[in-house]
Structure 1
């Protein structure tokens, strides 16, 4: 349920954005930040959240993250201005950064090896994959029959259930030893990611504009400084051993591309439904269900394929199916039918994404030592949401430029919007092709080498991951 809530909140407000924008007088230039503030804060602080979970205690971190997430959700649901809503969403993302790695780390330790572990990660990955689409549906229901505010206030129910369940069912675990927090690493990675994403959002004014170049350059500089610090401090925020293994590095990069599509690109399909096709919020949310149904239907088959063939074939083919769906979406028209122009694409996307979600969580933790479980789990989630933040910024620029060009050519507003959405889908499809190439180049090795093998010590109740 934790992963569902965290991922769901990435998209649940998407359906409500037109209503919220109107009520709070939110300018078009700030609209995307309702989504970006959450994803950016979440992704940028996940590494620190993972270390806090490892050092302070995973159950304790989980409970504090749940409480803070509920309070921030309440604040956002009661917000009286656009900036207040954006800030509340950022705080919500910060507490989600405590919540998510603690939950995944506990799953990692509770299921140290074997078939049960594969099933646990298949379920975890499927929930993560379907949570975005479920958020769209739930957001449509709440916006249609209540108010956009309930897209945030509904989290109170999940938080209460999560805290009661956590208090009763979870046991404490944490890394041994005298641990210290990497403050400078935290500062540099947060500034680096924040500057990078903000720089991409400014590219709407031109990739060569001074502000764009300055902020993107600052982002790269801070991230380079972060890597330099990680290589030298005694207890780094992100031990470089977690990301330098080529298979894990490939998984992290592919996860970032998936995040850019799920968060950045699919937002425009929702806009197409409402702004061009004239769907209500509810119908717009329901229109996305096809992809979720396909993902859930394919998951058992993909899980068996993972055990039989290993993750590499799935990681190569999954992005290709997804790219085919996205390229199909480039053919949308203002007067086209959902069943002919959209539904086949969602089916292809569902097949492709199911082939990625099932192995990704498992593959990203291949060879990770138990003491790094929290930070590795954080890296898995961080790459998804940072990829989504960057993707949303880049696709927004691509969309805006396409709309501007079509409008200058004298086409109607509906056609101009559709041209913009098609351009965003085309860029997303190209990104997925790149993800397949990454899998070919980096997800290499025999099946048994790519599947994590965990030795479990019954006496100490600790798990240790080893590569063959």
Structure 2
């Protein structure tokens, strides 16, 4: 449920935009409000499970998540939906790490736990695309509000059954790093807001520049807090190992490309190809299949080849898919313009999902493997939010320039009736509006491709995990669930 909600709302974005009056740049906050609180508080949520009991906090997280879903479904104003999405992220940040940690208390260490961990990873990997299908069905058959309402009965059922089927974990002594969690989350939110504000008002906007300054100050303060805190939310020594630091940087870059791909293809499919929500959701099923194939191939061949070849190859395949999507235009069809690059993207990401998880926990003590794997999830969410804001900035800039060109063409080619309507609404009709949107999306994918190439370079030059390390990696995979 938590994984699906990262994308299930995406398919309903055009309907949410119309119903609540979001601009395209502001619409990204529907995704980012969830991703930022989820990613920013993920480590704190895991810490809460250790200190207060994992089953207890799992139920609290699911309850908070369900309540936020209910409030979001009833939203009448943009701010109400954004507040609910942020609250969903808080609930998800509590429920997600505790559910992963509960695998360690439910399944014995060894093959059984590793299989359970593999199932969890598969659900996480394919859940994004499945969420788009579920969102399409709910939006098409009911309305956009049900992509949020659907969580309520599921959450109530989970909370009711958890005490019966899940054992409570042992509590561990310790303290919460509340200042670190607060400063890091607000700092990242300020950075993302700066990009989104610059997309609307330009890079010389005082509020955008102030947001960047606040973000920089808070992130510097975060490092200072973590260095002085006895029990930091983010142990800085995790970054001392070049393989782990490289893995986090790779996930940050790949997640940025991934969030952008889902966001902009949904917009293109519904606004240019005029797909219904359910048809747009079905269009993403091949991505799920490609992810599963890539993850399965990587899992089977890792003992023979080691992780680095899959990292480099996966990133390059993903970059190829993103580069292909830069060619998108108003005449692009699903089969001829979208399916091929989406399959490449999914396969490349599949090669990396398992490999990055294993590398993140290599060469680290069992007691810190949970923090190491949790940081990987954090970089995925924060990278996605930050990347989407950057891609939206590129999109908006390209849109503005292309709109001037298309308005000139429209004034020369449009009918008198179309011109009269344009004078009232200031909205370009199709096909001129489709050209503006497609140009902006294609330009945004240039930035996405660059991010995937950056991940490939990091894999090539920073990662040094050898094939001989794989035995240790396999053992850590199970320990990561703890």
Normalized against structure 2, the TM-score is what? 0.88
The 3-state SS of whatever aligns with 1:231 is: helix
Is 1:427–2:460 an aligned residue pair?
no
Q: In 2, distance between residues paired with 1:308 and 1:164?
A: 45
Q: In 1, distance between residues paired with 2:370 and 2:82?
A: 28
Q: In 2, distance between residues paired with 1:109 and 1:248?
A: 26
1:126–1:357 contact (8 Å) kept in structure 2: no
Aligned to 2:303: 307
**Is the alpha carbon distance of 1:6 and 1:405 closer, same or farther for their aligned partners in structure 2, counting shifts above 3 Å?**
same
Task: Point out where structure 1 has 5 or more consecutive residues left out of the alignment.
Answer: 457-461
**Is the alpha carbon distance of 1:376 and 1:16 closer, same or farther for their aligned partners in structure 2, counting shifts above 3 Å?**
same
Aligned to 1:319: 315
1:50–1:98 contact (8 Å) kept in structure 2: yes
Deviation at 1:136, TM superposition (A): 0.8
Deviation at 1:54, TM superposition (A): 2.1
Aligned to 1:202: 197
**Is the alpha carbon distance of 1:149 and 1:209 closer, same or farther for their aligned partners in structure 2, counting shifts above 3 Å?**
same
**Is the alpha carbon distance of 1:160 and 1:309 closer, same or farther for their aligned partners in structure 2, counting shifts above 3 Å?**
farther
Is 1:417–2:432 an aligned residue pair?
no
Q: In 2, distance between residues paired with 1:453 and 1:133?
A: 27
1:113–1:455 contact (8 Å) kept in structure 2: no
**Aligned residue among 184, 188, 195 for 2:183:** 188
**Cα RMSD after superposing both structures:** 2.4
Aligned to 2:459: 439
1:102–1:374 contact (8 Å) kept in structure 2: no
Q: How many residues align?
A: 455
Deviation at 1:295, TM superposition (A): 1.6
**Is the alpha carbon distance of 1:157 and 1:43 closer, same or farther for their aligned partners in structure 2, counting shifts above 3 Å?**
same
2:251–2:380 contact (8 Å) kept in structure 1: yes
Q: In 2, distance between residues paired with 1:379 and 1:206?
A: 33
Alpha-carbon displacement from aligned partner over 1:143-172 (angstroms, at most 9, x marks no partner): 001111110111124323433453233223
Deviation at 1:108, TM superposition (A): 5.1
Q: In 2, distance between residues paired with 1:170 and 1:369?
A: 27
Is 1:351–2:351 an aligned residue pair?
no
Q: In 2, distance between residues paired with 1:197 and 1:13?
A: 19
Q: In 1, distance between residues paired with 2:305 and 2:248?
A: 21
Within 5 Å, which residues of 2 pair with 1:66-465? 66-107=62-103, 115-116=111-112, 118-174=114-170, 176=172, 178-204=173-199, 205-410=201-406, 412-449=432-469, 451-452=472-473, 454=475
The 3-state SS of whatever aligns with 1:181 is: coil
Q: In 1, distance between residues paired with 2:91 and 2:361?
A: 23
* Residues 405-414 or 84-93, more deviating: 405-414
Q: In 2, distance between residues paired with 1:110 and 1:442?
A: 36
2:369–2:476 contact (8 Å) kept in structure 1: no
Q: In 2, distance between residues paired with 1:418 and 1:213?
A: 29
Deviation at 1:210, TM superposition (A): 2.7
Aligned to 1:22: 18
Q: In 2, distance between residues paired with 1:122 and 1:325?
A: 26
Q: In 2, distance between residues paired with 1:217 and 1:10?
A: 28
Structure of larger gyration radius: 2
Is 1:9–2:5 an aligned residue pair?
yes
Normalized against structure 1, the TM-score is what? 0.91
Q: In 2, distance between residues paired with 1:327 and 1:245?
A: 32
Q: After TM superposition, what 4+ stretches of structure 1 lie above 4 angstroms from structure 2? A: 108-118, 453-456, 462-465
**Is the alpha carbon distance of 1:80 and 1:197 closer, same or farther for their aligned partners in structure 2, counting shifts above 3 Å?**
same
Alpha-carbon displacement from aligned partner over 1:264-293 (angstroms, at most 9, x marks no partner): 332101111111111111111111111112
Deviation at 1:243, TM superposition (A): 3.0
**Is the alpha carbon distance of 1:368 and 1:74 closer, same or farther for their aligned partners in structure 2, counting shifts above 3 Å?**
farther
2:366–2:476 contact (8 Å) kept in structure 1: no
2:49–2:98 contact (8 Å) kept in structure 1: yes
The 3-state SS of whatever aligns with 1:409 is: helix
Q: In 2, distance between residues paired with 1:38 and 1:401?
A: 25
**Aligned residue among 53, 57, 62 for 2:53:** 57
1:315–1:439 contact (8 Å) kept in structure 2: yes
* Residues 430-439 or 445-454, more deviating: 445-454
